[in-house]
Amino acid sequence: MKSFDAIVIGGGQAGPFLAARMVEKGMKVALIERKFLGGTCVNAGCMPTKTLIASARAAHVARSGAVYGVNIPGEIAIDMKVVRARAEAVTMNARNGLIGWFAGMDGMTVIYGHARFEDPKTVSVNGETLTAPRIFLNVGARPVIPDLPGINDIDYLTSTSIIHLDTLPRHLAVIGGSYIGLEFAQMYRRFGAEVSVIEHGPKLASREDEDISDAIADVLRSEGIDIHTGVSDIAFARSSDGITVATDSARIDASHVLIATGRKPNTDDLGLDAAGVITDKHGYITVDDKLATNVEGIWALGDCNGHGAFTHTSYNDFEIAAANLLDGDDRNLSSRIPAYALYIDPPLGRVGMTEKQARASGRKIMISTRPMSRVGRANERGETKGFMKVIADAETKKILGAAILGIEGDEVIHGIIDAMNAGTTYPALQWSVPIHPTVSELIPTLLGDLKPV
């Protein structure tokens, strides 16, 4: 049996950085990764998909050049092999950077293999047994494949496998109208494929307020994406030239099907029962406000604990654990203000409560909205789709939440994220003096238009 000061299972965006901090403190650490260092973000999420989105936007801008007085003769052609190679290069550069970083650390042992608990202090991997007083789980999540008629008879794609395509689908059917599915839908439409989005719920991006969801649908429809919501029945069958997707309201002749119906944690084969670690009904590991599980000496970080499925929340889990365990600090998971983005174009930046959540909270609230068509920067760039929205507490004057669906919305939202984290009231932020001409300069104006509801 090999002994360590700590064992980290999973090489995503929390565990490896925590392992590095522990090594800096002179600890002996084992980092066990089943497949690739970097987790979903580096290998199948943020980095490759946003690289693909950048290629898709380049195609869109090239096709739109005439509007700006830039005429490009001939058809805009897409070389999917180059598109794929570019995304793969970005992934490999990041992955190899992590490999090189850890290889240079004395006290760090990187093991590739499938780890399983033998007891609360012991794990087995590749026929070896390892023990440590502290074990951290950062095992991530994977795509959910729903049990739909005919799904096992077709060759479907997931968010992991689709990034390796080096040919252009004739018609891509996206099953699931949430964040991952919508990003791929617009991306492949801009590459030149016909695209249909099929969503069981009554609207796209169901987490959002109805006005945001409607605006997202308008953006996608304006680019020629076929959207079907409220679909109760979906079935698949092979056809002579692809896949038939039959719903209760439509029949789609697709060449490729992307299943984008959510993700589930990679916790079902870790031997958690042997360690006594509790999970909820969805398989997420139950943690307290310090990210500790019910078993002393075991923590769960990142997607597998159900408290955010983003790179930034996973990294913040690392920050919380490192601060509490290594720096003598007292940081809590509950103090984190939720924020995220949807990377369609224009992007959606979101922080805090939706309007629906704010109304349900019983607070006296104020709301302000402003169309992007009234933002100078958006008009100058010729990108006026979407709108801004902010919700505030009428009594405390604190900002409760905001949504910016529009040009650079994923960046502009950070002004509000920072204000909320600092506890700044909206009247104080209203008196800031932002730079002109920017999208952010409209934030004080947006706040000045807050009205009680």
Delimiting residues of CATH 3.50.50.60 domain(s) in the chain: 2-141+264-335, 151-261
Chain centroid, CA 231 distance in Å:
24
Residue 249 has pLDDT above 90, yes or no: no
DSSP tag of 445: H
Task: With beta carbons less than 8 A apart as the criterion, state whether 255 and 171 touch.
Answer: yes
CA distances from 253 to 236, 245, 257 (A): 10, 7, 10
Distances in Å between the alpha carbon of 298 and those of 121, 278, 286, 313? 8, 11, 11, 19
Distance of CA 265 to the CA centre of its chain: 14
- Give me the mean pLDDT over the 445-451 stretch: 97
| CATH 3.30.390.30 domain locations along the chain | 339-452
* Structure token digits, residue 68: 């700006």
pLDDT, tens digit, 9 for 90 and up, residues 133-155: 999 999 999 999 999 999 999 99
What letter does residue 286 receive in the DSSP assignment? Answer: P
> In this structure, is the dihedral angle defined by the CA atoms of residues 389, 395, 397 and 398, taken in order, positive or negative?
negative
Q: Which residue has the tokens 């650490």?
A: 29
Tell me if residue 60 is catalytic: no
> 48-53: long-range contacts (C-beta < 8 A, 24 or more apart)?
48/87, 48/88, 48/90, 48/91, 48/163, 49/87, 49/159, 49/163, 49/183, 49/184, 49/187, 49/343, 50/343, 51/86, 51/87, 51/90, 52/83, 52/87, 52/163, 52/187, 53/183, 53/187, 53/343, 53/345
What is the number of helices (H) and of strands (E) in the chain?
13, 24
**Beta-carbon-side half-sphere exposure of residue 280 (alpha carbons within 13 Å):** 11
pLDDT tens per residue, range 115-125: 999 999 999 99
pLDDT tens-digit readout, 284-300: 999 999 999 999 999 99
Residue 203 has pLDDT above 90, yes or no: yes
- The separation between the first and the last C-alpha atoms of the chain, rounded to the nearest angstrom, is 64
Length of the chain (residues): 453
Looking at residue 309, its pLDDT comes to 87
Share of the chain above pLDDT 90, in %: 99
CATH superfamily assigned to domain 2-141+264-335: FAD/NAD(P)-binding domain (3.50.50.60)
Active-site residue (options: 164, 282, 307, 436): 436
| CB 353, CB 344: distance < 8 Å | no
151-261 placed in CATH 1.10.1580.10: no
Region 339-452: CATH code = 3.30.390.30
Q: How far is CA 403 from CA 167, 342, 355, 398, 416, in A?
A: 35, 11, 10, 15, 10
Average pLDDT over residues 51-63: 97
Closest CA to 282 of 298, 268, 261: 268
What is 42-90 written as a DSSP string? HHTSHHHHHHHHHHHHHHHHHHTGGGGT----S-----HHHHHHHHHHH
What are the backbone angles phi and psi of residue 308, rounded to the nearest 5°? 120, 135
Whether the CB-CB separation of 16 and 37 falls below 8 Å is answered with yes
> Taking residues 10-39, what's their average pLDDT?
96
How confident is the prediction for the chain on average, in pLDDT? 97
pLDDT at 416: 98
Is the bond preceding 346 in cis, omega lying within 30 degrees of 0? yes
pLDDT, residue 205, reads 98
Q: Rounded to whole angstroms, what are the CA distances from 75 to 62, 84, 188?
A: 10, 21, 17
Per-residue model confidence (pLDDT) at position 139: 97
pLDDT per residue over 151-196, tens digit each? 999 999 999 999 999 999 999 999 999 999 999 999 999 999 999 9
pLDDT grade for 399, boundaries at 50, 70 and 90: very high
